[in-house]
């Protein structure tokens, strides 16, 4: 019988353990909307009716995965994240709030719970209502959308430094936090530690608007950023070059405090695929992104025992060989419903090089809208395809969404429990 940590490490080494590892909430793309966490906890009898669940990531409204839920489901991974939300305020000072559907939750003290006259909820950078709002949840909505606050662009005054405002030396307080948490998780649990340090997600479009900055400068409009990767390549390259220098220095400091307690680090969440095709050509990836991905990954592999995970959704089959060459160890997720993303082909072609993290069940159609028997069949099939030989950690294809029937959530985890043991089948 393996510990969770041993189980995940074997999977990362492409070895079969006693069972396929399971992740829920290890990072911001393997979690669950707070309303679904609430329903799951109620169905499992973990809480009294009406007991609120913490919103630990307000941008996507992800719910806290507490140790009791980890134990009941047999989750093998624990997150190691920073102290602040994507809106720049700390996860502390919890207060009650209610979602539009009536779900009781707890939110951080600086989370704005006062609706506008139209019923929408605005969110402010660092919780400071004296500056323009940086996020909006429409009335009846489930998440926040970022608000573009880019001043009119003057091509003659574009300055790389403006898009580097959010990147800088990691603070002593944040370093101390990571050090304490890594030691606690390592000594007090037997779980694998999944770290998200931030700062190395080159061009991550979710972060371009910089919701945590009060007055962001530079190119902050989503459409304008994508256009800039084609028409302002030198500008974008200059941003990445400096960001990489800062990121490498921060990684050195982080490794000094967390050491090799960390098993896995999430370095980038930049999406390179749409539902139908990659966002960019292979050559553009090689020219603009790959040099910096390789620099980060080479440093990690040279100086640490960490494995490196990249998150990218969509139809990315032509880019997977490039990701492997750039030094990524783990791909999250495998969005097998996208064009050209055949599961068996991906496992056969790339299973010796990549660990697949998050190919458990489709979160766009099957889990939220399918029948429980369809969920069971898909979970079973994915374990059958990806599980042999290790190199697979079960998680949903991106976060479990609001409105997902609790019967489907239960069917997913019951099927995982039944079919995850090696030898499979």
Q: How many folded domains does the chain comprise?
A: 1
- Distance between start and end Cα atoms, the chain: 18
Read off the DSSP letter of residue 275.
S
**In degrees, to the nearest 5, what angle opens at C-alpha 359 toward C-alphas 355 and 364?**
150
Q: 251 is in which domain, residue-wise?
A: 4-32+66-85+151-419
> Residue 197: which CATH number?
3.20.20.210
Q: What is the pLDDT of residues 333-390, one digit of tens each?
A: 999 999 999 999 999 999 999 999 999 999 999 999 999 999 999 999 999 999 999 9
Asked if the structure places residue 60 within a domain, the reply is no
Asked if the structure places residue 50 within a domain, the reply is no
Asked if the structure places residue 134 within a domain, the reply is no
Query: How far from the centroid of its chain's Cα atoms is residue 55's Cα?
Result: 15
Asked if the structure places residue 200 within a domain, the reply is yes
Structure tokens belonging to residue 176: 């101390």
Helix-, strand-, coil-residue percentages of the chain, each rounded to 5: 40, 15, 45
This prediction has a pTM of 0.97
Task: Write down the residue that tokens 């490794």 correspond to.
Answer: 255
- Residue 269 burial by CB count (10 A; 0-12/13-18/19+): exposed, middle or buried? buried
Asked if the structure places residue 396 within a domain, the reply is yes
**pLDDT band, residue 151 (cuts 50/70/90):** confident
Asked if the structure places residue 194 within a domain, the reply is yes
Q: What is the pLDDT of residues 23-51, one digit of tens each?
A: 999 999 999 999 999 999 999 999 999 99
Give the span between the Cα atoms of 321 and 327, in whole angstroms: 10
Asked if the structure places residue 59 within a domain, the reply is no
pLDDT given for residue 264 in this prediction:
98
Read off the DSSP letter of residue 390.
S
Asked if the structure places residue 133 within a domain, the reply is no
Residue pair 335/361 in contact by the 8 Å Cβ criterion: no
């Amino acid at each position: 019988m393996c510990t969770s940590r041993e189980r995940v490490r074997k999977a990362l080494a492409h070895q079969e353990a006693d069972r396929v590892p399971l992740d829920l909430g290890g990072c911001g793309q393997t979690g669950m909307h707070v309303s679904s966490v609430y329903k799951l906890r109620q169905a499992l009898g973990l809480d009294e009716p009406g007991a609120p669940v913490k919103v630990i990531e307000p941008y996507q409204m992800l719910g806290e995965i507490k140790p009791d839920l980890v134990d009941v489901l047999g989750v093998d991974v624990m997150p190691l994240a920073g102290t602040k939300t994507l809106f720049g305020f700390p996860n502390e000072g919890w207060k009650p709030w209610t979602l539009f559907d009536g779900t009781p939750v707890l939110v951080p003290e600086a989370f704005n719970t006062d609706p506008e006259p139209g019923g929408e909820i605005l969110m402010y950078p660092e919780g400071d209502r004296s500056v323009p709002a940086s996020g909006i949840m429409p009335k009846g909505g489930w998440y926040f959308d970022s608000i573009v606050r880019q001043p009119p662009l003057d091509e003659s005054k574009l300055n790389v430094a403006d898009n580097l405002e959010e990147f800088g030396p990691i603070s002593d307080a944040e370093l101390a936090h990571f050090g304490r948490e890594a030691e606690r998780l390592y000594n007090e649990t037997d779980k694998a530690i999944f770290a998200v340090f931030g700062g190395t997600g080159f061009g991550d479009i979710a972060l371009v608007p910089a919701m945590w900055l009060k007055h962001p400068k530079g190119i902050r409009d989503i459409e304008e950023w994508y256009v800039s990767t084609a028409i302002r390549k030198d500008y974008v390259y200059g941003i990445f070059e400096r960001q990489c220098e800062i990121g490498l220095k921060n990684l050195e400091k982080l490794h000094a405090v967390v050491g090799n307690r960390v098993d896995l680090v999430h370095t980038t969440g930049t999406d390179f695929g749409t539902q139908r095709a990659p966002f960019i050509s292979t050559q553009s990836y090689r020219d603009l992104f790959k040099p910096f991905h390789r620099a980060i990954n080479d440093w990690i592999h040279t100086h640490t025992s960490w494995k490196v995970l990249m998150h990218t959704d969509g139809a990315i089959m032509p880019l997977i060989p490039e990701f492997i060459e750039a030094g990524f160890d783990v791909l999250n997720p495998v969005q097998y419903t996208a064009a050209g993303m055949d599961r068996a082909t991906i496992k056969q072609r790339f299973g010796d090089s990549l660990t697949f993290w998050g190919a458990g069940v489709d979160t766009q159609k099957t889990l939220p809208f399918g029948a429980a028997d369809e969920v069971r069949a898909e979970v079973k099939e994915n374990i059958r395809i990806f599980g042999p030989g290790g190199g697979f950690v079960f998680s949903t294809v991106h976060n479990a969404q609001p409105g997902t029937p609790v019967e489907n959530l239960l069917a997913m985890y019951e099927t995982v429990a039944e079919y995850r043991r090696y030898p499979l089948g």
